[in-house]
Chains A and B, each alone.
Chain A
């Protein structure tokens, strides 16, 4: 029995299956965010170009290393929302804001269906009562779907 659990592949498979059960039970997947709560890169780029309307608060909920390489100008780094630390920073950042504030969350670390950061961030903001939250739909990754499309990019911290 102990030998079985010395095998990294067995440990990994058991771990993945347990995570999967959690995901199924708690609806953790980005694909479960309804399309009405998504915004496409093109739509966001138009909002950023326009001088009309409310400027959204944009929050990156992925890795700092990725943020440092490229992020949406004026967006803020919060950290991976798949971690409790990241979620706490997110809650703290938005806590003083009016609940109808236009907030956009994005990550782009992985293909959309594999992103573990956006859905927890969306859940947390909804739980706090925010009513105007959109998740940036990044199909593949931030490089392919934002940077390489020529949308505005900033670097550094």
Chain B
């Protein structure tokens, strides 16, 4: 096979892979399941969990802000797809009172810290455990996100990857209340 043919073949393969990538990233989520949850409108269980800086984060310290609590892990593809959108939302609505908090369900903090720094995450991330999972009704699949109002009550629960526009609509509504 001539070298120019090989080169064309390689370019073709890369183009197909990129097109596939754009399709995958651009398609709407198929995994969003709205659960009319029993948990909705109940008080979000308070917790104090270790953050990535050696301190502890307490949920109740954020009372008065709208909180998006995101259960995720570095090895979870759908979780990672949501994070750049959350970084944007945090930037966009910080002044109005939005606070996003990530709860990593990784087994240890090393990959989380690496990911946090590499992707310049701009909101706090704490290390989760089985107890916090159970407090929030069982985190037996990722991602799971809770939208919590200024009064500390859970308003929405999203299981699975969720379109960012859904989060944004809910957050905007709650910030105005």
Contact surface of A with B, Cβ cutoff 8 Å: 6, 8-9, 11-13, 16-17, 20-21, 24, 63-66, 68-70, 79-80, 82-83, 108-111, 114, 116-117, 140-144, 147, 155
Contact = CB atoms under 8 A, between A and B. Distances in A.
A114 B118 CA distance: 22
Q: Is the interface of A mostly helix, strand, loop or mixed?
A: helix
A114 B130 contact: no
Interface string B139-170: 11110000000000000000111000000000
Contacts of A24: 17, 20
A116 B139 contact: no
A68 B130 contact: yes
Given A11-B119, A21-B21, A66-B139, 19 more contacts: A8-B119, A11-B118, A11-B120, A12-B83, A17-B17, A20-B17, A63-B75, A65-B107, A65-B133, A69-B133, A69-B138, A80-B75, A109-B75, A110-B77, A110-B141, A114-B31, A141-B142, A143-B140, A144-B141
Contact of B87 (A9, A13, A141): A9
21 contacts: A11-B118, A11-B119, A12-B80, A16-B81, A17-B18, A24-B20, A66-B140, A66-B141, A69-B138, A69-B139, A83-B75, A110-B76, A110-B78, A111-B78, A116-B75, A116-B77, A143-B140, A143-B141, A144-B141, A147-B138, A155-B130
Given A114-B78, A143-B138, A20 B24 contact: yes
